Amino acid sequence: TYVVTEDCIKCKYTDCVEVCPVDCFYEGENMLVINPSECIDCGVCEPECPAEAILPDTEDGLEKWLELNTTYSAQWPNITSQKSPPDDADEHKGEKDKFQKYFS
Ligand code: SF4
Ligand code: F3S
């Protein structure tokens, strides 16, 4: 599966949503997540994210993000079309420690 990671927080560009063939993105206040049991591993979303927030869970150190994607995709609403990012999205692009600062 692919997972959405910290770089999505406060950016939410949603380009990923537009290309996913199985509509497996779910939307929270500050970030999106992927439902790992619905993701078919096609990989098309990864290069679409301007914040480079989407990664295959085969990369090292992503256990926390796999768990978070699994948990919140079961709670948050499905998002199936692109929307405008927050006004300050670009200011938060690449920022460090966004999980600690903003995740709720
Ligand atoms: Fe959707 Fe493919 Fe990305 Fe999985 S890898 S979330 S199926 S676009
Ligand atoms: Fe987030 Fe990137 Fe999608 S910033 S909403 S994972 S395009």
**Which tens digit of pLDDT belongs to each residue from 32-49?**
999 999 999 999 999 999
Q: Residue with the nearest Cα to atom 2 of ligand 1?
A: 42
- Give distance in angstroms: CA of 84 to centre of ligand 2: 11
Residues in Cβ contact with 102 at an 8 Å cutoff, skipping those fewer than 6 apart:
9, 10, 30
Residue 45 identity: C
Q: For residue 56, what are its two tokens?
A: 């295959």
| 72-85 pLDDT per residue, tens | 999 999 999 999 99
Best residue among 40, 57, 79 to mutate for probing ligand 1's pocket (most ligand atoms within 8 Å of CB) is 40
Tell me how crowded residue 37 is: count the other CB atoms within 10 A of its CB: 10
ipTM at complex level: 0.98
Q: Where are the domains of the chain?
A: 2-80
Q: Is the whole-model pTM more than 0.95?
A: yes
Name the nearest CA neighbour of 7 among 65, 43, 52: 52
CB 94, CB 10: distance < 8 Å: no
Architecture of domain 2-80: 2-Layer Sandwich (3.30)
Q: For residue 95, what are its two tokens?
A: 């920022």
